[in-house]
């Protein structure tokens, strides 16, 4: 997007392209860009037009990522219900257990098989890892709501949470890259239906 | 006989209504108008992909315009199987409602 006409956020455009098969990587961004420039931007202004664009990009992302979100949510429910120790953490942070690694590896594999792009696998595995990490806080909010107030009493806890999030995302990206690399170099699956 | 869901029917009908102008953006707008609600781009593109995978629609790429930065447009058309599936779906709905006084009334 290097022309002078109004353009949606670059990060959203890059995210959208990373989710698409090579055969769709022009047509779908082109459709959204056309609607953005011709209708949304003139009628809504930049902020709301950007929000419109991001919403539709996230809808495309959701169509790709939802099986992985279901898998990580199922793993969380299972791991909360079973006694501790059965699923050891590989790194001292939430969302970095052996089974987390397997789900994220699969997410990376699934993503890159779906589009033939390693970037799709990395994005999907990172999103899966992020949501898997957030589910710990959702669980805490439901079971011990007082824990959510702790960081406001001791702001250093925010730093600890940020570090843990960084570790979980790094873990997710690493596992995702491995899964995506495997998915990229294996023959295409049934998910990649359109060739041209 | 290929059975299709309501959203797939809406997208296939949009392809028929739009004719040679049936590309992604126009289909999204047409489906929103006909269903009278907001529809996400992700839902429409996933449905188009599914229809193609089922052999109910096919697509071709055509050059893009300046406003879309020259990006190609993908035009969709329903296949013969797609039209048959739509006829079957309409016929099934008609059969289901046949003999009932329209509009239906709530019994009290």
Nearest-by-Cβ selection for B53 from A55, A62, A193: A193
Least confident of A38-47, A113-122, B11-20: A113-122
- The pLDDT score that the predictor gives to residue A193 is 52
Q: Do residues A151 and A141 touch, judged by C-beta distance below 8 A?
A: no
Mean pLDDT computed over B58-82? 94
Task: Place A77 in a pLDDT band, splitting at 50, 70 and 90.
Answer: confident
Tell me the C-alpha distance between B59 and A27, whole Å: 11
CA atoms within 13 A of residue B9's CA, in its CB half-sphere: 17
Q: Does residue A92 have a pLDDT over 90?
A: no
State the DSSP H helix or E strand holding residue A27, giving kind and residue range, or none if neither: helix A27-35
- The pLDDT score that the predictor gives to residue A196 is 38
Q: Does residue A148 have a pLDDT over 80?
A: no
Least confident of A54-58, A75-79, A136-140: A136-140
Q: Chain B: residue nearest A34 by CA?
A: B68
Nearest-by-Cβ selection for A30 from B42, B53, B73: B73
- The pLDDT score that the predictor gives to residue A136 is 81
State the DSSP H helix or E strand holding residue A46, giving kind and residue range, or none if neither: helix A41-81
- The pLDDT score that the predictor gives to residue B36 is 94
Most distant CA pair in chain B: distance in Å?
60
Q: Does residue A48 have a pLDDT over 60?
A: yes
Q: What percentage of chain A exceeds 70 in pLDDT?
A: 94
With CB atoms and an 8 Å threshold, state whether A61 touches B71: no
Q: Chain A: residue nearest B64 by CA?
A: A30
Distance in Å, alpha carbon of A161 to nearest chain B alpha carbon: 33
Tell me the C-alpha distance between B25 and A31, whole Å: 5
With CB atoms and an 8 Å threshold, state whether A27 touches B71: yes
* Higher-confidence position of A93 and A55: A55
- The pLDDT score that the predictor gives to residue B54 is 93
With CB atoms and an 8 Å threshold, state whether A5 touches B67: yes
Q: Do residues A136 and A37 touch, judged by C-beta distance below 8 A?
A: no
Q: Which residue has the tokens 């929000």?
A: A51
Which of these, A58, A139, A69, A137, lies nearest to A104 by C-alpha position?
Answer: A69
DSSP string, A124-184: HHHHHHHHHHHHHHHHHHHH-GGGGGHHHHSTHHHHHHHHHHHHHHHHHHHHHHHHHHHHH
- The pLDDT score that the predictor gives to residue B1 is 67
- The pLDDT score that the predictor gives to residue A195 is 43
Which pTM value belongs to this model? 0.85
Q: Does residue A1 have a pLDDT over 70?
A: no
Q: Chain A: residue nearest B22 by CA?
A: A31
Mean pLDDT computed over A87-113? 87
User: Alpha carbon of B107 to those of A96, A160, B74, B104: distances in Å?
Assistant: 57, 62, 49, 9
């Amino acid at each position: 997007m290097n022309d002078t006409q109004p353009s949606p956020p670059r990060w959203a455009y890059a995210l959208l392209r990373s989710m698409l098969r090579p055969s769709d990587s022009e047509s779908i961004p082109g459709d959204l860009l056309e609607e953005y420039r011709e209708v949304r931007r003139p009628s809504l202004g930049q902020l709301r037009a950007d929000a419109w664009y991001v919403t539709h990009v996230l809808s495309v992302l959701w169509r790709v990522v939802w099986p992985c979100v279901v898998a990580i949510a199922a793993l969380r429910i299972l791991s909360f219900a079973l006694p501790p120790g059965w699923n050891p953490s590989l790194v001292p942070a939430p969302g970095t257990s052996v089974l987390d690694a397997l789900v994220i590896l699969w997410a990376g594999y699934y993503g890159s098989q779906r589009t033939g792009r390693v970037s799709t696998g990395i994005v999907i595995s990172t999103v899966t890892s992020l949501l898997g990490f957030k589910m710990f806080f959702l669980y805490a909010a439901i079971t011990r709501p007082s824990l959510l107030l702790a960081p406001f009493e001791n702001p250093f806890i925010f730093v600890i949470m940020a570090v843990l999030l960084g570790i979980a995302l790094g873990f997710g990206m690493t596992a995702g890259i491995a899964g995506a690399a495997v998915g990229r170099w294996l023959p295409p699956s049934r998910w990649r239906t359109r060739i041209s | 006989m290929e059975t299709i869901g309501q959203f797939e029917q809406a997208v296939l009908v949009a392809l028929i209504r739009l004719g040679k102008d049936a590309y992604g953006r126009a289909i999204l707008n047409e489906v929103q108008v006909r269903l009278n609600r907001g529809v996400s781009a992700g839902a429409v593109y996933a449905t188009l992909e599914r229809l193609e995978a089922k052999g109910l629609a096919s697509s071709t790429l055509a050059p893009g315009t300046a406003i879309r930065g020259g990006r190609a447009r993908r035009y969709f058309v329903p296949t013969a199987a797609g039209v048959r599936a739509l006829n079957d779906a309409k016929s099934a709905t008609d059969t289901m409602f046949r003999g009932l006084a329209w509009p239906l009334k709530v019994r009290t």
